[in-house]
Amino acid sequence: MSRQTIIAANWKMNGNLALVDTMTSKINSINFAENVKVVICPSSPYLVALSSKVSNEAINVGAQNISEYAKGAYTGEISADMLNEMSVNYAIVGHSERRSLFGESSAQVAQKVKAALANGITPLLCIGESEAERIAEQTETVLSAQLQPVIDEIGIESFKNVVIAYEPVWAIGTGKTASPEMAQETHKFIREFIAQHNAEIADGISLLYGGSVNAATSEELFAQTDIDGGLIGGASLKVDEFSQICSTSKGS
Ligand code: PGA
């Protein structure tokens, strides 16, 4: 089946209004294949400016985080409802930096996925193992333990509106990209894990690879059978490089 190809940019706590301008003026003019979507996730102060500058239907705006709570006394948090009102239709959920630096558990991540879906926001659910876990051959156990609480919380049917980003923690920001073969093998495992619950959902779900993807590696990674695009950090801050990554994503 033909799945949605997604090229997502995670600016993390980087970027500024000038980058919003230069990035949109460059990528607005790209002619994307019909099943390719680009999702730019800047820091939240730039969401509105970014939305107003996007003029290409393939380009969407995403948040880097979303609160699991609907509203109330949660200083510093941003609700799904607020993002929705700002025309933000994607949100990164459970990024490894949120899990390790801000203590987000898989149970909390599941609540965030639920909050996003309840407001029509597509969660980009991030999962991934650490280097020690890969060396100890625990990758599949770790990924299962990150996915299962979300399946238990929202039900497998709701995964038709979820995108999964597999990001090995050891590859994030390190320059150590997983080889296309290694990434494919893990993506295949993730798709099979979902298929154990529902084969049709597994067939249709977009699985993105993230971790030091750049313009030199993206094409081969995205060409793998079970890789449907990428979540790009560092390289998404470079206008020419990101636009090259977008341009080479042919879709299927
Ligand atoms: P990176 O980040 O491309 O800089 O490794 C990816 C991510 O953390 O989403």
What CATH number is given to the structural domain containing 73?
3.20.20.70
Question: Per-residue confidence of the chain (252 residues) as pLDDT tens digits?
Answer: 579 999 999 999 999 999 999 999 999 999 999 999 999 999 999 999 999 999 999 999 999 999 999 999 999 999 999 999 999 999 999 999 999 999 999 999 999 999 999 999 999 999 999 999 999 999 999 999 999 999 999 999 999 999 999 999 999 999 888 999 999 999 999 999 999 999 999 999 999 999 999 999 999 999 999 999 999 999 999 999 999 999 887 665
Rounded to an integer, what distance in angstroms lies between the CA atom of residue 67 and that of residue 91? 10
Distances (CA, A) of 186 to 8, 18, 61, 209: 19, 37, 28, 10
CA of 7 to the centre of ligand 1 (A): 12
Q: Residue 14: CB within 6 Å of ligand 1?
A: no
- Alpha-carbon dihedral angle through residues 236, 239, 245, 246, given to the nearest 10 degrees: 100
Q: Residue 245: CB within 6 Å of ligand 1?
A: no
For residues 198 and 156, is the Cβ–Cβ distance under 8 A? yes
pTM: 0.97
Residue 40 lies in a domain: yes
CA of 148 to the centre of ligand 1 (A): 24
Residue 252 lies in a domain: no
Give CA 206 to chain center in angstroms. 10
Residue 189 burial (10 A CB sphere; 0-12, 13-18, 19+): middle
- The residue whose CB lies within 8 Å of the most ligand 1 atoms, and thus the one to mutate among 10, 97, 100, 209, is 10
Residue nearest to atom 1 of ligand 1 (CA): 233
Residue 12 lies in a domain: yes
Q: Residue 167: CB within 6 Å of ligand 1?
A: yes
Rounded to an integer, what distance in angstroms lies between the CA atom of residue 9 and that of residue 42? 8
The H or E element spanning position 164 is: strand 163-166
Query: 């238990």: which residue's tokens?
Result: 152
Q: Which domain holds residue 33?
A: 5-247
Specify the pLDDT at position 192. Answer: 98
Specify the pLDDT at position 1. Answer: 58
Residue 228 lies in a domain: yes
Residue nearest to atom 3 of ligand 1 (CA): 233
Supply the residues annotated as catalytic.
95, 167
Q: Which atom of ligand 1 is nearest to the CA of 10?
A: 9
Specify the pLDDT at position 7. Answer: 98
Residue 108 lies in a domain: yes
Q: Residue 65: CB within 6 Å of ligand 1?
A: no
Specify the pLDDT at position 251. Answer: 60
Q: How many domains does the chain have?
A: 1
Specify the pLDDT at position 2. Answer: 79
